[in-house]
Amino acid sequence: MKSILFASTALVAFAGAAAAQGVTLTGNAEMGIISGNGGVAPTDDNVEFFTDIDVTFTMAGETDNGLTFGASVDLDEGGDGSDAVDNNREDGGATIFLSGNFGTITMGDTDGALDWALTEVAFNSGSINDDETEHAGYNGNGGLDATYDNQVLRYDYSFGDFGVALSAEIEDDDPLVPGDEDGDVLGLGVKYGLDLGGSTVNFGLGYQESDDADAIGFSVSGSFSGVSLGLSMLNRDSDIVGQDYDHIGVGVGYTTGAISVSANYGEYDYETGGVDRDGFGLSAGYDLGGGAIVQLGYGDSNFDGGVGDRETVSFGVRMNF
C-alpha cells in the first residue's frame, strides 16, 4: 500500500517521550455498481452507482527508553460530533496504543480479547459493498464488543507462538433508564500459531462476560499453497430474550497470481425469541497492480420463515493509496 510520510510534523505530549517519528496517511477509494432484492421491505432488483472513500491517519513515535506509541484515526468511521460532551472523551474510529517489553496496551475503538484471539472466515479480495460479510449468516467474532460505547481497553502479550489478551469495556450508564446496569464487559483471549514448514495453522479461544451475558468462541484457520481455510464457532448466552444463539462459520479462499476468490457460509441457531438464519458470501478479485483491484461480490441471506430473505451483488474497483 502506498503512503505519504510527513516526517516531524507532530509532537506528542507524553512524559519522557521523544519527538514523534511521523504521521502516515493511507486510504482507499471504491467505485462501481451495486444491486439487491428482497429484505424486510421486499424490493425488486435495482441497480445503483456506488462510491466510498476511507482515509486513515496513523501516528507513530518512540520514547527515549525504547517504548513505542502511536494512534490511528479512521475518518470513515469517526464520530459525527452530535454529542459534544461524549466526543471529548471517546472517539469512534480512533485507537491509541503504548507498547514495550511488557506487551501492548490499546485503548479506543478496538477489538476486545475474544475478537483479538479469533480469526474471521472471510479471506482474500473482498468487495466494494462487503457483500461477502454483510449476509445474515456472517459473524465477525465481535462477541460482546460494543455492548456500550465500543471504547475498549485491551492488554495483549506474545511469547513465541503464543499470545494472550485481557480486555474491558466499562458500563456506560444510560441516564434515561435509571437502574439499567448490565456490568462491565470483561474478556480473555488466547491464541497459538503452529508453523508446519511452508504452512501455518492458527488456533484462537476467547471468552467475555457481563452481568447479564457471556460469550465463548473458538476458531482454527490455516494457509498453504495459496489456499486459506477457516472455521469459527461462537456461543452467546444472555438474560435478554432473543440474544441467545450458537453460531458456526466456515470459509475458504484461493489466490493465484493476480486472481483471488473466496467463499464463506454461516448460520445462527437461536435458543428462544430469535429467528434462525443463515447465509453465504462470494468474492472475486483481479489485481491490476499499483493498488487497484477489480472486485466482484455476492451475498445471500435466508431467514427461518422466509421474511427478510435477500440477495446483494456488487462490481467495481477498489484503489488503495
Q: What is the pLDDT of residue 83?
A: 44
From CA 109, how far away is CA 77, in angstroms rounded? 10
Residue 321 pLDDT level (bands cut at 50, 70, 90):
very high
Burial of 219 per CB tally in 10 Å (0-12, 13-18, 19+): buried
Mean pLDDT along residues 76-93:
49
- For the stretch 61-71, what's the b/e string if a residue is b when 16 or more beta carbons lie within 10 angstroms of its beta carbon? bbbeeebebbb
Judge whether residue 79 has pLDDT over 90: no
Digit-coded pLDDT (tens) for 263-286: 999 999 998 888 999 999 999 999
Type of residue found at 279:
G
Residue 173 pLDDT level (bands cut at 50, 70, 90):
low
Question: Are the beta carbons of 140 and 272 closer than 8 angstroms?
Answer: no
Judge whether residue 48 has pLDDT over 70: yes
What's the CATH code of the domain at 252? Answer: 2.40.160.10
Range of the domain at 218: 4-320
Mean pLDDT along residues 42-62:
89
- For the stretch 144-176, what's the b/e string if a residue is b when 16 or more beta carbons lie within 10 angstroms of its beta carbon? bbebbebbbebbbeeeeeebbbbbbbebeeeee
| pLDDT more than 70, % of the chain | 84
Digit-coded pLDDT (tens) for 215-250: 999 999 999 889 999 999 999 998 888 889 999 999
Q: What is the pLDDT of residue 273?
A: 82
- Cα angle 101, 106, 109 (rounded to 5 degrees) comes to 165
From CA 312, how far away is CA 305, in angstroms rounded? 19
3-state secondary structure of 86: helix
β-sheet bridge partners, residue 61:
69
**Number of folded domains in the chain?**
1
Residue 46: all three cell numbers together: 435495482
β-sheet bridge partners, residue 252:
229, 263
Digit-coded pLDDT (tens) for 185-219: 999 999 999 988 878 899 999 999 999 999 999 99
- For the stretch 232-247, what's the b/e string if a residue is b when 16 or more beta carbons lie within 10 angstroms of its beta carbon? bbbebebeeeebbbeb
Please tell me which residue, 69 or 17, carries the higher pLDDT value: 69
Question: Are the beta carbons of 79 and 167 closer than 8 angstroms?
Answer: no
Judge whether residue 13 has pLDDT over 70: no
Q: What is the pLDDT of residue 130?
A: 96
Please tell me which residue, 20 or 166, carries the higher pLDDT value: 166
DSSP readout, 205-272? EEEEE-SSEEEEEEEEEEEETTEEEEEEEEEEEESSTT--EEEEEEEEEEEETTEEEEEEEEEEEESS
Please tell me which residue, 254 or 15, carries the higher pLDDT value: 254
Q: Quick count: other Cβ atoms within 10 Å of Cβ 316?
A: 21
